[in-house]
Structure 1
Amino acid sequence: MSIEWSLVFFTVFVGLGCGIFVCSVILTEWGGMAKQVRTKSSLAALAALAIGGFSSVLHLGHPERIFGALGHPTSGIFMESTMLGLVALDIIVYLVAMRRNASDRTLRIISTVGIIPAVILAFAVGYTYVLSARPAWNTLILPLIYLASAGLMGCYSLSLLIAFTNNISSAPGTTSAEIAAAKGAPSAAGTIKWATLIAVAFQAVLLILYLIHLAVAPYPDITRSATRVLTGDLAVLFWGGLVLLGLLVPAALVSPFNKKKAKQIPPVASLAFGLVCVLVSSALFRGLMFSLGSSIKQFL
C-alpha cells in the first residue's frame, strides 16, 4: 500500500499539538511548575493543530468540498475535526484567560477540560486505521502507539521550551521578574526528563507488542510480516528510523546517567535534536504502517 503523506503529516502534527498541550497542563497546572511556559506551549500546540488540520484537508481529492465531508456526523473526518476544533477552542479560551489574569483555579479548570478531547483525539487518529480487512492494522496497539508518540513529542517539546526559559536566568540584562519566573525551570526540567524516559519505555514496549501482533495476525502474508520489518526491505526503516531515532537517541539525550556528555552539549541544542528525531521517527512509523497495510484479498 502506498504511503499517504498528507495523512502522515496530519496525524504527526495533531499528535504533536495534543502532546504539547496535555504535557504542559499536567506540568504547569497540576504540578505547579514552569508556569512561565504556559503561553508559549499553548501557542505551539495551537500551531501544530493548525498544520495538522491543513494537512488533513489536502488529503481530500477536492479540498473545496471539506464542508460537504463535515456534513456526515458518523464519518471519521467529522469526528476527528470535531475533536480538533474542541481542543483548539479550549486552547484559545485558555490563552484569553491567561491574558486577562484569571485565577489559578480557573486556568486549571479550563485547561483540564481541554485534556479530555486532546487525549481522545491523539488516540482517535490512530484508531481510524483499525480495520479488520487489513490484518496489520487490526489491533488496538496501533492507536496506543499513536498516543504514546504524542506523549513523547509533547515531552520533548516542553523540555525544549523549559530549556529556553532556563537560559533566561543567565542572560545579560535579565530583569528580576524574568529571573523569578525561571527559578523553577531546573526542577521542572528534571521532572519532564523522567516523563520523557517513561514515554520512550512505553513506546518501546508497544513496538514489541506490535511486532508480536504482526507475527501472529491471521491471514499471514510476507507483505505484512514481522520478518519483512526485522530483516526484509523495511529493516532499515525499522532499525534506523524507529529504534535508533525513535528510542535510543531520545533516551540517551535525556538520560540522567549521561551527565558528563550533557555538559559538553548545550541543553537547547540537545533537546532540539531530540525533538527532530522523535518527529522524524513518528512520521517513519506511519510510513511503515502504510507499507504493511495490505488487505486480506488483493483486488488490484
Structure 2
Amino acid sequence: MSIQWPLVFFTLFVGLGCGTFVGSVILTEWYGKAKQIRTISSLIAIVALGIGGLSSTMHLGHPERMFGALGHPTSGIFMESTMIFLLGLTIIIYLLAVRRNASDATCKLIGTIGVVLAVALAFVNGDAYVMAAIPAWNTWILPLLYVASAAVMGCFSIGVLLAHTANYDTATIAETAATTSMIKRAALITIAIQAVVLVAYLVHIAIAPYPDVTRSVSRILVGNLALFFWGGLVLLGLVVPAVLMIKFYTKNAQGISPHTSITLGLASVLVAGIVFRILMFSLGSSIKQLF
C-alpha cells in the first residue's frame, strides 16, 4: 500500500495533542506539580489536534467531502472527528476554568474527562486501521501501539515545557528535581511498554494468516524495511529517547543542557512516529488471493 501522508500526519499530531494534554493533567491536576504549564500545554494540545484534523481532510482530496463522511455515524471519520471535537471542547472548558481560577476539584474533574477522551481518541486512531482484509493490521495490538506512541510523545512534550519554564532559584530546586524525576520515570516506563508492544506486533505479523513476502518479518528485520525498523523505530524511537531522557536534569551530563536533551528526545520520538506509520502502510498489503 502506498504511504498516505495526510493520515500519517493526522495520527501523529492527534497523538501528540492527546499525549501532551494527558501528561499535563496527570502532572498538574493529579499530582499538583508544575501548574505553570497548564495553559501552554493545553494550547499546544489544541493546536496539534487542529493540525491533525486539517491533515485528515486533505486525505479526502476535496475537503468538502468531509461533510458527506460526517453523514455516516458508523464511519471511522465520523468517530474520529466527533472525538476530536469533544476533546477540543473539553480542553477549551478546562482553559476557561484555569483562567477563572476555578477550584482544584473542578479543574481536576474537567481535566480527567479530557484524559479519558484523549486516551480513547488515541486508541480509535489506531483502531480505524484494524481490517480483516489487511493481515498486518488485523490486530488490537495496532491501536495499543498508537496509545503507547501518544504517551511517549506526551512525556517528552511535557519535558520540553518543564525545561523551558523551570525556575532555577534555590526555593524550587527540590520541586523541580521531584517533577523531572516523575517525568523521567513515566517516559522510561512508556518507552519500555512501547518496546514490548512493538515486539508483540512483530509476533503478530509472523503468525498472521495469509503470509506474504510484502508483510513478512524478514522484510522488516533484514529486508528493504530494515533501515526503517532498526534506525527509525529501535534507535530513534527507543534507544535515543531513553538515553536523552536519562540525561534530563542529570548532574554532570557532559555539557548537554536539560532543554537540549529533552528537545532532541522529542524530535527523535516524532521522527520515530512518522517512521512507524511509514512502516505500517508499507506492510498494508491485502489478502490478494481473495480478489
Query: TM-score normalised to the size of structure 1?
Result: 0.93
Contact 1:9 1:52 in 2 (8 A): yes
Match of 2:231 among 219, 224, 240: 240
1:35 maps to amino acid: K
Q: Cα distance, 1:205 vs. partner?
A: 0.4
> Do the aligned partners of residues 253 and 40 (structure 1) sit closer, same or farther apart at CA in structure 2, a change above 3 Å counting?
same
Match of 1:251 among 225, 242, 251: 242
* SS of residue matched to 1:169: coil
Q: Whole-Å Cα distance in 2 between the matches of residues 2 and 75 of structure 1? A: 22
Q: Which residue of 1 aligns with 2:168?
A: 169
Q: Which residue of 1 aligns with 2:115?
A: 115
1:196 maps to amino acid: A
Q: Which residue of 1 aligns with 2:36?
A: 36
Contact 1:165 1:182 in 2 (8 A): no
> Do the aligned partners of residues 21 and 189 (structure 1) sit closer, same or farther apart at CA in structure 2, a change above 3 Å counting?
same
Q: Cα distance, 1:184 vs. partner?
A: 2.8
Q: Whole-Å Cα distance in 1 between the matches of residues 107 and 251 of structure 2? A: 39
Q: Which residue of 2 aligns with 1:225?
A: 216
> Do the aligned partners of residues 94 and 215 (structure 1) sit closer, same or farther apart at CA in structure 2, a change above 3 Å counting?
same
Q: Cα distance, 1:257 vs. partner?
A: 11
Contact 1:36 1:181 in 2 (8 A): no
Q: Cα distance, 1:262 vs. partner?
A: 2.3
Q: Cα distance, 1:258 vs. partner?
A: 10
Q: Cα distance, 1:169 vs. partner?
A: 3.0
Q: Cα distance, 1:255 vs. partner?
A: 2.0
State whether structure 2 residue 84 is matched by structure 1 residue 84.
Answer: yes
CA RMSD of aligned residues (A): 1.9
Q: Cα distance, 1:71 vs. partner?
A: 1.3
Q: Whole-Å Cα distance in 2 between the matches of residues 258 and 103 of structure 1? A: 32
1:39 maps to amino acid: T
Q: Cα distance, 1:72 vs. partner?
A: 1.1
Contact 2:180 2:248 in 1 (8 A): no
Contact 2:214 2:285 in 1 (8 A): yes
2:126 maps to amino acid: G
Query: Where does 1:58-207 land on structure 2 (aligned, <5 Å)?
Result: 58-166=58-166, 168-169=167-168, 184-207=175-198
Q: Whole-Å Cα distance in 2 between the matches of residues 258 and 52 of structure 1? A: 31
Q: Whole-Å Cα distance in 2 between the matches of residues 162 and 295 of structure 1? A: 44
1:126 maps to amino acid: G
> Do the aligned partners of residues 183 and 106 (structure 1) sit closer, same or farther apart at CA in structure 2, a change above 3 Å counting?
farther
Contact 1:222 1:228 in 2 (8 A): yes
2:255 maps to amino acid: Q
Contact 2:249 2:258 in 1 (8 A): no
Moved over 6 A (4+): 179-183
Q: Whole-Å Cα distance in 2 between the matches of residues 154 and 35 of structure 1? A: 16
Contact 1:135 1:219 in 2 (8 A): yes
- Number of equivalent positions: 291
Q: Whole-Å Cα distance in 2 between the matches of residues 136 and 144 of structure 1? A: 14
* SS of residue matched to 1:273: helix
Contact 2:21 2:41 in 1 (8 A): yes
Give the fraction of aligned pairs with identical amino acids, expressed as a percent. Answer: 61
